[in-house]
Amino acid sequence: MKRQVEQAKARVKGNAAGRLIVVVWVAFAGQLVAQTDRVRERDPSWTAPAKDAEQSNPFTGRASIVTGGQKVYGQRCHTCHGSQGQGTTRAPSLVAADVQAQTDGALFWKISGGNTRAGMPSFSFLPGAQRWQLVLHLRRLATEVD
């Protein structure tokens, strides 16, 4: 009988420990879900130098060029920024007003140089024409959201 009581106590103790593990795991999972639901915020200190921000896009007004930017975006950007540029936990929204308020030159500069502190890679290896096409595509994404 004493042995059976000991075994019962061990089972209850084991179950209590199991319940504690489940409670801790559920709390951790809840925190993880809460964190992954948030869109990553932008680095407000990441600004283009004036001379770069003043550059104008050589493809402005050429609607046929936009499809090239869409293709490059699908290959290089959508994984982090989302298929419609809405942002993810990996990268911020590109259709937000503060991004769209930046000049084409500033966006080109950011695409070209990246921001390693914020996790944005440099795309300077892409030809300049493709980077300008990306800027046009970002502008189009913003009009599609409205």
Asked whether the whole model's pTM tops 0.85, one would answer no
**pLDDT tens, 74-132?**
999 999 999 999 999 999 999 999 999 999 999 999 999 999 988 999 999 999 999 99
Domain count, the chain: 2
Asked if residue 71 and residue 130 are part of one domain, the reply reads yes
Distances (CA, A) of 72 to 3, 76, 97, 133, 136: 71, 6, 22, 8, 11
pLDDT score of 35 more than 90: no
- Looking at residue 32, its pLDDT comes to 45
Asked if residue 130 and residue 62 are part of one domain, the reply reads yes
b/e string for 5-14 if b means 16 or more Cβ within 10 A?
eeeeeeeeee
- Give the 3-state secondary structure of residue 51: helix
Mean pLDDT score across all residues of the chain: 84
Asked if residue 81 and residue 27 are part of one domain, the reply reads no
- Looking at residue 13, its pLDDT comes to 64
